Amino acid sequence: MYDAYLDIETTGLSCQYADITIIGIYLVNGKDSRRVQLVGKEVTRGNLLEAVKGVQTIYTYNGSRFACPLFTAHWG
């Protein structure tokens, strides 16, 4: 099982008006690790779900206050 460290970049701070421009994910499983970057048109709900498929824990940077509300605003 992997753990994921997720960070996003946006065009602003408003969950209603900002666009997500980059999603960076660092996946770690013991000594095995890999990076996933979704940029521009690759930033979709489906691509994000595929990237974290099978992940045990997701760590975010200010996720409960920013990333999660932003995802909800964009993708319900």
User: How many domains does the chain contain in total?
Assistant: 1
CB count in 10 Å sphere of residue 50: 11
Give the CATH number, domain containing residue 20.
3.30.420.10
Instruction: Report pLDDT digits (tens) over 25-68.
Output: 999 999 999 999 999 999 999 999 999 999 999 999 888 888 88
Show the domain range for 60: 2-75
β-pair type (20-29, 2-10)? antiparallel
- Asked if residues 49 and 60 have their Cβ atoms less than 8 Å apart, the reply is no
Could you read off the pLDDT of 44-55 as tens digits, one per residue? 999 999 999 999
